[in-house]
Amino acid sequence: MEDLFRKGVAEFNGRSFFEAHDTWEELWRESSGENRLFYQGLIQTAVGLYHLTNGNVRGASSQFGKALAKLERYLPTFHGVDTQHLVTQLHQCLSLTAHLQASSVTTPDPSLVPDIRLFCSGF
C-alpha cells in the first residue's frame, strides 16, 4: 500500500492529477476507517485540480470543498503528509476558484497549484 501511496504522491506532485486519482482510488477501495476518508480527500483534491487545470472552475470548487471537509480532520499530519500545508493550499485554491468564476478567467496561475509534502513514510 505504501508503494501505491507514494506513486500517487509522485503523480500528484508531477501534475498528473488524473493518474494520481486513479492510483489513490486503488488504495481507497482496499481501505477502511480513517484511511478510507483520508484517501477520498486526496482523490477529491486531485479531481479538483484536474478540473481546474482543464478550465472547469465550478467542478474544481465543488471538489475542493469536499476535500477540505475530509482533510481538515487529519491536521497537522497524517501518514507522513503535511496535511496543514495541503489544507492551507486547498483553501487558497478554493478562494482562487471564486475569483476565477467572478472574473470569467479559467486558467489558474501554475504557482498556485498545491503539492504534497511528505515528512516520512507514515506507514
pLDDT digits (tens, 9 = 90+) for 60-82: 999 999 999 999 999 999 989 99
Interatomic CA distance for residues 35 and 38, integer angstroms: 5
Judge whether residue 123 has pLDDT over 70: no
Residue 33's region, left for phi above 0, alpha for psi from -120 to 50, else beta, is left
pLDDT score at 2: 87
| pLDDT tens sequence across 6-21 | 999 999 999 999 999 9
pLDDT score at 61: 94
Tell the CATH topology of 2-112: Hyaluronidase domain-like (1.10.3450)
Element holding 82 (H helix, E strand) = strand 81-82
